[in-house]
Amino acid sequence: MLFSESVGRKIVSTSTADTVGAVGEFLVDPRSRTVAGLQIKKSKTGDALMWSGISSFGSDAVTVESADSIVDIGTEDSLSGLHGKAHRVIGKRALSTAGVDLGTVDDVEFDPETGAVTSVIVDTVSIEGRTLTGVGSYAVVLDHRDR
């Protein structure tokens, strides 16, 4: 599943069948190469959802047990350093660990069951997610040989 296809997707509580928010941004942990959580918009209860709080990430909606799964991003230590413009992946320059400009990150593919980053799409070329080593204000760094 792609980040670009998932932004804006409704988040639905399975206990009430109510919409409790929408997917805003993906919070990527480059150390584990996973989606650590989601930044949420249109929620009354908070602005973040830990990946562990997701019941299912489906093609039409993300389900959670209840609205209580949505928290304030500042209260979750594992998410607090992963949000904001400096940590967005899409649209950022991609550099190899050797300092070579690989292009611009067009999208990210992830496993909707585990949150694992499976590939980073740079200028339409898919690079394995296991090469992701860093996300910062300047670039996304990939342990990738020159193209």
Mean pLDDT for the stretch of residues 26-47: 89
Cβ distance 76 to 63 under 8 Å? no
Q: 79 or 65, which is more confident?
A: 65
**C-beta contacts of 115-124 below 8 A and 24+ residues apart:** 115/34, 115/35, 115/36, 115/51, 116/33, 116/34, 116/35, 117/28, 117/33, 117/34, 117/35, 120/89, 120/94, 121/2, 122/94
Predicted pLDDT at 8? 95
Cβ distance 138 to 129 under 8 Å? no
DSSP 145: -
Which residue in 75, 107, 81 sits closest to 94, CA to CA?
A: 107
Q: What is the pTM of this model?
A: 0.88
CA–CA separation, 9 and 5 (whole Å): 8
Predicted pLDDT at 88? 83
Mean pLDDT for the stretch of residues 30-50: 89
Q: How does residue 146 score in pLDDT terms, banded at 50, 70 and 90? A: low
Q: Using the predicted structure, report yes or no on whether residue 147 has a pLDDT greater than 60.
A: no
Residues 140, 32, 111, 82: is their CA dihedral positive or negative? negative
CA 135 to mean position of chain CA atoms: 12
Mean pLDDT for the chain overall: 90
Which structural domains are found in the chain, ordered by start?
3-85 (3.90.50.10), 86-142 (2.30.30.240)
Q: Using the predicted structure, report yes or no on whether residue 85 has a pLDDT greater than 70.
A: no
